[in-house]
Structure 1
Amino acid sequence: MRIDGGHTRPVTFEDLVAEGAAVPVEGWDFSWFAGRATEERPSWGYAKLMGERMAHARRALDLQTGGGEVLAGIPKPPPVLAATEGWPPNAALARRRLAPFGATVAEVGENDPLPFADGSFDLVVSRHPVTVPWQEIARVLAPGGTYLSQQIGSGSVRELAAAMMGSQPVTEAQRPERIRADATAAGLMVVDLRAEALRMEFFDIAAVIVFLRKVIWTVPGFTVDAYRDQLRALHERIERNGPFIAHSQRVLIEAVRPAG
C-alpha cells in the first residue's frame, strides 16, 4: 500500500483497475483526480471569460453543459438562462445544479437541432463540445450576438489514445484554421482564435481508467475488459518510469453574428 495525504491507496494492478472502474463518472467534476493526475490550464481562463460575458448578457445558452458545473460558477446569471445536455444522467445533474439560477435544461443530443427559435440568444457558450452545430448556433444567435467556446483541438491526448489503440490519424476537424472556416461558413465573424497544448500527467492506472470512462471520445468504446492488456502494459510503464505524460489540445474561439 502507498500512503498519500494520510490515506492508503492500493498499488496492485487489479486493485487499481477495480478502483478506477468503480468511480462515478457523471458530470464534469474532475476533483477526484487530485493527487492522481494533473493538467495545465489554458492561459485565457475560459470560466472567467464566460462569467464576464454572462454578466452582460440578457439571454444566454450553454451548449452541452455536462452536469452544469462550469455554468454554475458564473457570478451573475442573465435574466434568461438555458442549457442543453444530451446524456440523461448529466441532464438531471444540471437541472438540480442550475435550478438556483432559474435556468432551463433541455435534453438535446449533440447532433440534434436546437429547440429554440431563431435569434433567441445574445450569447451562446460551450466548453468542450463533442460536436459543434455551427449552423444551429448561428440560427439561434440574435444579430450582434456572440458565441464563446473552449474546444478540444485536434490530436488531444493522442499519446494516451496511442497507448490503447496504437498510432491514430489526427483529425483535421478541430484544427484552428478549420474551426475558423466552419464558423465563417455559418455566417459568423471570428474575433478571437487561440490554441494551446497543455501538459497532462497520470500517476496511476486508476486515473487513466477514470479519465477514459469520463472523456469517452479519447478511446471510443473503451471498457476495462476490452483494453485490459494495454492497461496492464501502461501500468507497468508507470510503475517503472513514473507518470505517463500526454498533452491536451485546447482552442478558444469567439465569434459574432453580424448585426443586420
Structure 2
Amino acid sequence: MEKIELKKYWQTIEALEFKGWDFSYLEGRWRQEALPWRYDELVRTHLSSEMHLLDMGTGGGELLLTFAHPFGQTSVTEGWKPNYELLKKKLKPQGVTVTFVDQTNYLNFSNDSFDIILNSHESYDPKEVSRVLKLGGLFITQQVGDQNGMLLSEKLDTKRRRNSFEWSKEVAQEALVKENMDILFADEYFPYQDFLDMEGLIYYVKRIPWEYPDVSVETHFTQLLEIQKELSKKGYLRNQQHRFVLIGKLRE
C-alpha cells in the first residue's frame, strides 16, 4: 500500500466511534498478560447487596453492571461528557444516581454516604474518598501507575509531553493511610501488552490521549511507519503496563 493510501486508511481507524469504555474492537488485535489478582473478584469478595455503593469513573457502566448490585443502592460518577450523557439514559432510569465529576475530583455527596467505593482506573482525591465513606467502609481501587506505556511513548516520542507525577502503590498507599485508612490488601505488577496489528495500536493510542498526548496519524506518521516495520518483523509490538491495586478500610 502506498504511503498516502496507508495514511488515509490509518486515519479511518483513529476516527472510529468509541462509546463507554468498550475495547471490543481490539479483540484479536492485542494480547495482555494477566494480572496476579482480579479486580472483579476482589470486589465480589467484599460487596454485599445491602451496601450503599459508589462506582467512580464508571465509564459506560459495563463493569459495574456485572456486579448486579441493587440499582437503588448504587451511585456512579463520570467525568467524560459523552459517557455522562450515556449514563443518564442508560442507568438513571433504572434508579442509579448519576453524578458528573470534574477535574477537581470533588464528590457531590454528603459525608458518610457509602459503605463501599469502587474505583477502576479513575483519578481520585483521597480526602474526598474518606469524607464520603462511612466509618468502617471500604475503598477498592485498581490504578494505572506512572510507568504505564513508557515503551510505546518512547517509540512515539511522547514521553516528554506526558503528565509527569509519581503514581505507584507506595505513593497511593501512603496517601490513604494519611486519610485514616488501614490497608487490607496491596499489590503491584508490570504486565506486558502486545499489539498484533497497526489497526489495534492506532485505535488504542487515540482512546487514551492522556498517555499519548497530541498523537495522530498526521503528526506521527513517520514514527508509526517505524513501528509498523518492527511489528511486521516480530509479529507484534511490545508495550509494558503498570498496575497496582489497594483495598483500604476507613478506621472506626
- Normalised to the residue count of structure 2, the TM-score between the two structures is 0.89
Q: What is the correspondence of 1:1-260 to structure 2 with a 5 Å cutoff?
A: 13-14=6-7, 16-77=9-70, 79-99=72-92, 102-129=95-122, 131-165=123-157, 173-259=166-252
1:26 positional shift: 2.5
Give the Cα–Cα distance (whole angstroms) in 2 for the partners of residues 101 and 173 of structure 1. 39
Amino acid at match of 1:224: V
1:79 positional shift: 4.3
Give the Cα–Cα distance (whole angstroms) in 2 for the partners of residues 92 and 31 of structure 1. 21
Q: Secondary structure at the match of 2:167?
A: coil
1:238 positional shift: 1.2
Give the Cα–Cα distance (whole angstroms) in 2 for the partners of residues 200 and 239 of structure 1. 16
1:55 positional shift: 2.6
1:115 positional shift: 0.5
RMSD over equivalenced CA pairs, Å: 2.3
1:201-259: CA deviation from partner (whole Å, max 9, x where unpaired):
11122211111111222212333322222112212221223200112111010001111
Give the Cα–Cα distance (whole angstroms) in 2 for the partners of residues 57 and 156 of structure 1. 36
Does the CA contact (< 8 Å) of 1:64 and 1:110 recur in 2?
Answer: no
1:95-143: CA deviation from partner (whole Å, max 9, x where unpaired):
34434752121111142411001111111111001x2211100000011
Give the Cα–Cα distance (whole angstroms) in 1 for the partners of residues 77 and 106 of structure 2. 11
The 3 A distance-change label for structure 1 pair 79 and 54 is: farther
The 3 A distance-change label for structure 1 pair 252 and 138 is: same
**Deviates further, 35-44 or 71-80:** 71-80
Give the Cα–Cα distance (whole angstroms) in 2 for the partners of residues 41 and 148 of structure 1. 19
The corresponding residue for 1:9 is none
- Normalised to the residue count of structure 1, the TM-score between the two structures is 0.87
The 3 A distance-change label for structure 1 pair 223 and 57 is: farther
1:15 positional shift: 5.7
Q: Which runs of 5+ in 2 are unaligned?
A: none
1:8-27: CA deviation from partner (whole Å, max 9, x where unpaired):
xxxx7336513421321232
Does the CA contact (< 8 Å) of 1:156 and 1:249 recur in 2?
Answer: yes
Q: Secondary structure at the match of 1:76?
A: coil
Paired residue total: 248
1:175 positional shift: 1.5
Q: Which runs of 5+ in 1 are unaligned?
A: 2-11
Percent identity over paired residues: 25
Give the Cα–Cα distance (whole angstroms) in 2 for the partners of residues 245 and 52 of structure 1. 33
Does the CA contact (< 8 Å) of 1:51 and 1:75 recur in 2?
Answer: no
